[in-house]
Amino acid sequence: MPRKSTRLTFAVLATGAGVFSMLQSLIAPALPTVQHALHTSQSTATWVMTAYLLSASVFTPILGRVGDLVGKKRTLVAVLLAVLAGCLVAALAPSIGVLIVARIVQGVGGALFPLSFGIIRDEFVPARVSGSISNLSAVIAAGGGVGIVAAGPIVSALDYRWLFWIPVAIVAATTLIAFRYVPESPKRAAGSVSWLGAVLLSAWLVALLLPLSQAGQWGWGSPKVIGLFAAAVVLFALWLFAEARSRSPLIDLRVMRLPAVWTTNSAALLFGAGMYAIWSFLPGFVQTPRSAGYGFGASVTASGLLMLPMLLAMFVSGVLGGRLAPVMGPKAQLTAGAALGAIACGILALWHDEQWQIAVVSGVFGLGIGLAFASMANLVVGSVPPEQTGAATGMNANIRTIGGSIGAALTSVLVTGHLQPSGLPHESGYTHGFTLLALLLLAAAGAALLVPARRTDRQTEPVVQRPAPAPAPAPARVR
């Protein structure tokens, strides 16, 4: 039975994860403002996003594993303090270099996702685990939408620095409450942190994501891009070899090979490609001047309002997902979520001449995001041993991020490959991009169909598929 108020615990977890999710997208619409205010170039300003992405990708699985070993509550408080420090430094940053460093520190907050899922599994009664994970997933999904919608009004009414001052106040209060009221999870994994695995994981993630995010500026055929991709392949192979031989791996590859895990992760990769690309390119499409022959010339604030149906729909469907799980099951929800995303992108590729069409597409896509986020988390949590929850959900979030980088990079090639004399993309570039995203999301639905079905009705505890037993490792410690 829970030793503290589960409602308060959930409120703390939802606030922390929601703020981090919001920080992912909050700064994107304000990048031109940041560039002008800090007297830097556009290419340098993009590192405000790139540094955050790389940092979150590295720290999410590593600190998820640390939480499994040394205590999820202890790690959660440390991560919240890091996010607080990052937001404070970003709000005061006198230069673009300091702001980039602050964003790297903020990226540590990526671990809030796996830690929160693990605490819910450890502390909540089994009958409430699935619904609580769905609700938290809805908050995480909606947080990204809040960032897109809120950025314009905050920057217009106040200043871009308030994009960080507001989270400072929220995270500070959340940290104090977490320290006082969130219980320390009694379940710990055995073993130690594999620092070799951590270094190799960080190295191949950076080598993969860096060229994906910078290829538009460096050129896809540039030596830097090709060299980093080659390094990513080599480092990934070395990481697999090291993890397979480790007695206490950072990511247990036997868990990653479980049918429910690898199929869910495959769907996450493809769904992330569609979701993050839509978040990146739909506002730009709406803001394109009508002189280009398409678009609406909308302001940052107006384009954010057109994304509002997505925000509302993803939150509602995510919350309802927990209640529908006993009826539909997470596999059906993931399939339906990916299919709705594919339908939305297909409609967008064909009809995008009126603002109401964008709003409708936004709402349909939001329904898909809410269902998919809730089901992916539940599928992973319900398929791995309790002591692997943090690492497994951290990798799922990471794989979704990798997919997002791939989707954004591919869409960028189509959208910006051929420009008008004015420098604006042709309408066909967006049309082809949205068509590609529809196909990727359709493939995500196909991957979801491969997820093994499991009985969820009248189920009171997640099904745990345990890997084959391994030799008893050393006592838990962090070297």
Question: Is-contact 203 235, C-beta < 8 A?
Answer: yes
Burial 215-236 (b: 16+ CB within 10 A, else e): bbebeeeeeebeebbebbeebb
CATH number of 6-193+248-449: 1.20.1250.20
pLDDT, position 176: 94
Beta bridge partners of 441: none
pTM: 0.80
Sign of CA dihedral 76, 159, 152, 410: negative
Q: What is the number of other CB atoms lying within 10 angstroms of the CB of residue 186?
A: 9
Burial 118-157 (b: 16+ CB within 10 A, else e): bbbbbbbeeebbbbbbbbbbbbbbbbbbbbbbbbbebbee
Mean pLDDT of successive 10-residue stretches along the chain, which has 479 residues: 70 90 82 86 81 86 85 92 96 94 93 89 84 84 80 86 93 93 77 82 90 83 93 95 85 86 94 87 88 87 84 84 78 94 95 92 92 86 81 84 85 84 89 95 95 57 43 42
Q: In the chain, what are the domain boundaries?
A: 6-193+248-449, 194-247
**Residues across the chain:** 479
pLDDT, position 94: 94
pLDDT in tens, 424-467: 889 999 999 999 999 999 999 999 999 997 654 334 344 444 44
Q: What is the number of other CB atoms lying within 10 angstroms of the CB of residue 431?
A: 17
Sign of CA dihedral 292, 296, 301, 307: negative
Report which secondary-structure segment, H or E, holds 345. helix 330-350
Copy the structure tokens of residue 407: 């989707």
C-alpha–C-alpha distance, residues 153 and 151, integer Å: 6
Residues with Cβ within 8 Å of 313's Cβ and at least 6 positions away in sequence, in order, are 362, 363, 364, 365, 366, 367, 369, 370
pLDDT, position 222: 92
Question: Is-contact 107 82, C-beta < 8 A?
Answer: no
pLDDT, position 165: 95
Residues with Cβ within 8 Å of 218's Cβ and at least 6 positions away in sequence, in order, are 211, 224, 225
Beta bridge partners of 425: 419
Chain-centroid distance, C-alpha 292: 33
Counting beta carbons within 10 angstroms of the beta carbon of residue 301, is it exposed (0 to 12), middle (13 to 18) or buried (19 or more)? middle
Q: What is the number of other CB atoms lying within 10 angstroms of the CB of residue 166?
A: 18
Distances (CA, A) of 416 to 218, 281, 425: 14, 11, 6
C-alpha–C-alpha distance, residues 300 and 159, integer Å: 14
